[in-house]
């Protein structure tokens, strides 16, 4: 919500990564990866395609720009909406503005975005679950195996958005490597890729698949170098227990996939209880 409001206040203008870090993560030491992941999550919730955006456009090497229509409304007309959204998303209530008994000065709100976020969450409940998730529906309500993980499809965050095959291959390679770890339960690729591009929160995905951990990441490119970022999230508390960036030349993409997948697997062995 903070990221969305920050972009809405500068609608139509480019907001740099540094400014987003200063305003959205004020007082917290984080890397630009936090911005990339937050924008990707916001796009997923809004159903926005980064290659043909209708809400958030990427401005290569500069930042992001909100291209959705923005209007001014009185606080009294929207005080209940943020609370409902925060409740549905499972976010801390301190992120939602408090209702005021008297109207205050107008604030910027994005037309339809609040409804889309809520609608996206509700739609997931209506459309059902993937076949693999249905098979584990009974176990999803119980505490998941502490040594279980789902690898979500890695995001293509390159400027040209032309590395999606590599990102998908990275996901499949990681699933293959992790499935060979003794005692570790890994969701099948069909279950993970079911959620690709869908407006589903990570916690809901983990609950649907019955896993305790979720591994996600992204692919970016600078010149002839490729950067793969990965992070491991413990679902029950939402904390990131491990994260790393891997910079490799683009000489042999298959070798890069295998090498990074092997390094991530070794790191996760020590991170998963």
**196-205: per-residue pLDDT in tens?**
887 788 888 8
3-state secondary structure 46-112: HCCCCCCCCCEEEECCCEEEECCCEEEECHHHCCHHHHHHHHHHCCCHHHCCCCCCCCCCCEEEECC
pLDDT score at 219: 93
Distance CA 58, CA 201 (A): 22
Higher model confidence: residue 89 or residue 3?
A: 3
pLDDT score at 173: 92
Q: What is the DSSP letter of 158?
A: S
* pLDDT over 70, % of the chain: 74
Q: What is the DSSP letter of 214?
A: E
Q: How confident is the model at residue 28 (pLDDT cuts 50, 70, 90)?
A: confident
Task: List the domains of the chain with CATH numbers.
Answer: 2-126 (1.10.10.10), 131-271 (3.40.50.10610)
What φ, ψ does residue 212 adopt, rounded to 5°?
-95, -25
Q: At what angle do helices 113-127 and 80-89 cross, to 10 degrees?
A: 40
pLDDT score at 37: 78
Residue pLDDT, tens place only, 215-262 = 999 999 877 888 999 999 999 888 898 999 999 888 888 888 898 899
26-51 per-residue burial string, b: 16 or more CB within 10 A, e: under 16: eeeeeeebbbbbbbbebbbbbbbebe
Distance CA 77, CA 152 (A): 38
Q: Is the pLDDT of residue 31 over 80?
A: no
Give the three-state DSSP class for 115.
Answer: helix
What does the mean pLDDT of the chain come to?
76
Q: Is the pLDDT of residue 91 over 60?
A: no
User: Do 35 and 20 contact (CB within 8 A), yes or no?
Assistant: yes
pLDDT score at 117: 54
What tokens were used for 52? Answer: 């043909």
pLDDT score at 113: 55
pLDDT score at 99: 44
Distance CA 110, CA 134 (A): 36
Q: Is the pLDDT of residue 118 over 70?
A: no
User: How large is the average pLDDT for residues 89-95?
Assistant: 44
Distance CA 132, CA 249 (A): 36
pLDDT score at 187: 92
């Amino acid at each position: 919500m903070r990221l969305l409001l920050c972009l809405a206040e500068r609608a139509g203008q480019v907001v740099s990564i540094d400014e987003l870090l200063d305003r959205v993560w004020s007082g917290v030491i984080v890397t630009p990866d936090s911005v990339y992941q937050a924008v990707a999550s916001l796009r997923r919730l809004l159903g926005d395609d980064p290659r043909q955006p209708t809400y958030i456009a990427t401005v290569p090497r500069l930042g992001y720009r909100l291209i959705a229509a923005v209007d001014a409304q009185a606080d009294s007309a929207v005080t209940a909406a943020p609370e409902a959204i925060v409740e549905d998303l499972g976010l801390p209530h301190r992120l939602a503005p408090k209702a005021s008994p008297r109207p205050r000065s107008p604030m910027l709100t994005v037309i339809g975005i609040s409804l889309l976020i809520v609608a996206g969450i509700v739609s997931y409940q209506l459309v059902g679950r993937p076949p693999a998730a249905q098979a584990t529906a009974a176990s999803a309500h119980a505490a998941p195996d502490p040594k279980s993980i789902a690898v979500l499809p890695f995001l293509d965050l390159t400027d040209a958005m032309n590395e999606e095959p590599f990102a998908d291959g990275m996901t499949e390679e990681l699933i293959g490597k992790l499935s060979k770890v003794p005692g570790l339960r890994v969701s099948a690729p069909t279950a993970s890729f079911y959620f690709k591009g869908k407006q589903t929160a990570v916690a809901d995905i983990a609950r649907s698949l019955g896993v305790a951990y979720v591994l996600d990441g992204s692919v970016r490119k600078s010149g002839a170098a490729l950067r793969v970022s990965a992070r491991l999230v413990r679902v029950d508390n939402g904390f990131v227990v491990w994260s790393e960036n891997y910079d490799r030349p683009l000489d042999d993409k298959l070798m890069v996939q295998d090498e990074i997948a092997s390094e991530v697997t070794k790191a996760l062995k020590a991170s998963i209880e």
